Structure formats: C-alpha cells, structure tokens
Structure 1
C-alpha cells in the first residue's frame, strides 16, 4: 500500500462548503505516482507505457476543508496487460471515498496493449489489497 497526506485547498470546496466531487479523481490520480514509477521509473513521458481505461468512484461521506485527508493506494488485480488500482480517501478516521482505475500497459507505436514485464508485475503484486 502507498499512502499520501493531502491538505485540501480552499479552491477544492464547493458552494455547499465541503470538498467538491471533482477534487477526488485529481487526488486519486496524483496518488498513483508511486505505481507509475514502478512501470516508468523516470516518469519519462516520451516513453510512457500506460493508458487509463476506466475509473469508478464511490462517495461514502462528505469531505471538509481544514482537515487533512489520506489517500491509500493499492493494487486489487494484476493481469497480463493491465492492472486495477484500488484507492480510498480517509478523513478523521472515516473512509469518505473509494475508487478503482484500470490501467493498461500500452505501446503507443503499435496502439496495442502489451504484456507487463515479469519484474514489474512482481513489484506491482507487492501492493495487492488485503481485505
């Protein structure tokens, strides 16, 4: 599991005074960086090996300005050419949002998925979610 603490910005709030739902996917994407580094250690955009195929987010409770949040990032499935990233957002010891992103290991030249190398797959498997 990877963990990141984020301090919500005032601009993350909405007219109702809580964190707007558009902040959550941005926080989730930022917290996927440690996984990106497994597959592209230098985060070289000229040789980027991933595409995002799908995201889903479920909201469990409101999030508020003035309190840090923790994003927990796991892998829930590692396949041959893709993997599922499972993430949770916690604030004040309460799970407030969860979501899954499906990432595909991809060759931009051929426009096709390709097998995740065994060494990288092994490193991804170290972060599998344990319920």
Structure 2
C-alpha cells in the first residue's frame, strides 16, 4: 500500500488559480455547495492543462476525468476568494494523477485527487501523453 499524498500543505503547490465565491455557489445552509467546490477543482485542472498545451482546438487529443476523490475539510462562506492549488502526483502512459486543494487564506477547505486520461479526439480512446504535454506536466510534478 502506498502512502496517501499530503494535499493540505499550500507549500506543496507550484500552480495556483483564484476563484471568486459567487452567491449562486451557496446552498440552503449558506456555505459553498459541494458541487461548486467540484467546479473550483475543475477550473484548476483545466487551467493547469491549458498552461501545459492542452485544450487547443487543433489538438488531436483531449482530457477526460476518470476518477475524482474529494474530501471536504471546512466550510467556505460568501463573500470570499478561494485559491486552488494544483500539482502533478503521477504521470502514467496515458494518464496523469493530480492533487489539488481549495484554500481560504491558508486554511484548507477541500482536497481532491483526480485521475485524468488523455484521449484521442477522433476515437475517444486513451492515447499516450504527447511529449510536449508530458514535459509541461513534469514541471509541476511534486513527488508524494
């Protein structure tokens, strides 16, 4: 059994984005809904992939989310600006495992471990990570 990565330490992240908490993100109890937290994680994943050359209209490949494990640690309230840290935990042949966390200041709100698979745009089947994408993602690899 391998050790779980520590996703709660802001110092472990090299890639960051910010999301403004919207009133529409709130649930009936007045805190940010779990679905909105998932959208924040998606924004982080997409931004990292874009920075590494992904999601280009001319690309013969795309990225799909194959697995997502989110752990909720604390409430996030409106108004706020959430910071989302994203790092690469593992690079596979056709997949990448990302670790992410949503922070309110230095307090962790939620963590996510996500497996993303590179797929051929025409066949929708897994395909090896393109060399340029692998190189870009390698810059964000933080060993577990």
Calculate the TM-score normalised by the size of structure 1: 0.87
Answer yes or no: is the 8 Å Cα contact 1:53–1:104 preserved in 2.
yes
Calculate the TM-score normalised by the size of structure 2: 0.80
Instruction: Please say if 1:104 is aligned against 2:117.
Output: yes
Unaligned runs of 5+ in 2: 1-13
C-alpha separation in 1, matches of 2:56 and 2:45: 12
Match of 2:91 among 69, 78, 99: 78
Residue by residue over 1:33-83, the C-alpha shift from the partner in whole angstroms, topping out at 9 and shown as x without a partner, is 23322243x631874422211111000111111121100011111111100
Number of residue equivalences: 130
Unaligned runs of 5+ in 1: none
Answer yes or no: is the 8 Å Cα contact 1:2–1:34 preserved in 2.
no
Superposition pairs of residues 22-37 of structure 1, within 5 angstroms: 22-37=35-50
Superposition pairs of residues 84-123 of structure 1, within 5 angstroms: 84-123=97-136
Report the secondary structure of 1:49's partner residue.
Answer: strand
